[in-house]
Amino acid sequence: MEHIYSDYFNLTETITELKRDILGVVLHDDAENYTAKAYITWLKKRIDQDELEKGWASVYVDQTTCYWFHPTHYTEWHCGDKFANTHYIGIERCQSKINGVLNDNEFMKIEEVSFWLAAAILKKYHLPVNRTTVRIHKEFYNTACPARSWLIHLQNGLDTLESINKLKDYFIFKISQYYSDISKKDIEILG
């Protein structure tokens, strides 16, 4: 896995203020065909056009690359919800467009990378893996996100609390499989 860090990790300047406290992660599906590296240019364009308020996450991940856009302990604009933005770390799973460039099995490999990454982030912040710390975008905002995962794992089931919890429980199961094996060295590479 290649880890790429934006200039925000080298400068004293940041986009936002520190998060008051970190309560967990939010897993997103980007609904695009972009790779994690493509988001480097995409986000630079948003900065140049003064459009960051349209949204961004701390980290963008695909099967081979993790792009750390902004330090995880700073507020993000990933959920359309102030509480989520100021308390949760956004993990944007790339190339999740339904009927996009990846088939379901290929996208599920990116999901696996995101589960490892979520486990590492939760361990870094000394958080357990449960329904409070592992969240999905649609819990905070009226959105289809994570639409690709919803389609694959719930066969596009009804948008109910029961379905949300079923998907979260699957994510929690997968993240838990990685959690105990996360090492101090793994945590050191996190943004």
Q: How far is CA 119 from CA 51, 162, 165, in A?
A: 31, 23, 18
Q: What is the mean pLDDT of residues 59-81?
A: 96
Percentage of the chain lying above the pLDDT 90 cut: 93
156: left (phi over 0), alpha (psi -120 to 50) or beta: left
Placement of tokens 């790339």 in the chain: 94
CA 47 to chain centre: 20
Percentage of the chain lying above the pLDDT 70 cut: 100
CB distance 76 to 58 below 8 Å? yes
Query: How far is the C-alpha of 139 from the C-alpha of 127, rounded, in Å?
Result: 19
The DSSP output letter for 18 is B
DSSP string, 59-126: EEE-SSEEEE-S-TTB--BSSS-HHHHHHEEEEEESS--TTSSS-HHHHHHHHHHHHHHHHHHHHHTT
Structurally, the chain folds into a number of domains equal to: 1
- The domain that holds 107 is classified in CATH as 3.40.80.10
Helix/strand/coil for 56 = strand
Q: pLDDT of 123-164, one tens digit each? A: 999 999 999 999 999 999 999 999 999 999 999 889 999 999
The DSSP output letter for 151 is H
pTM to 2 decimal places: 0.95
Tell me what pLDDT residue 14 has.
85
168: left (phi over 0), alpha (psi -120 to 50) or beta: alpha
Range of the domain at 55: 2-188
Alpha helices in 6-66 (DSSP H): 38-48
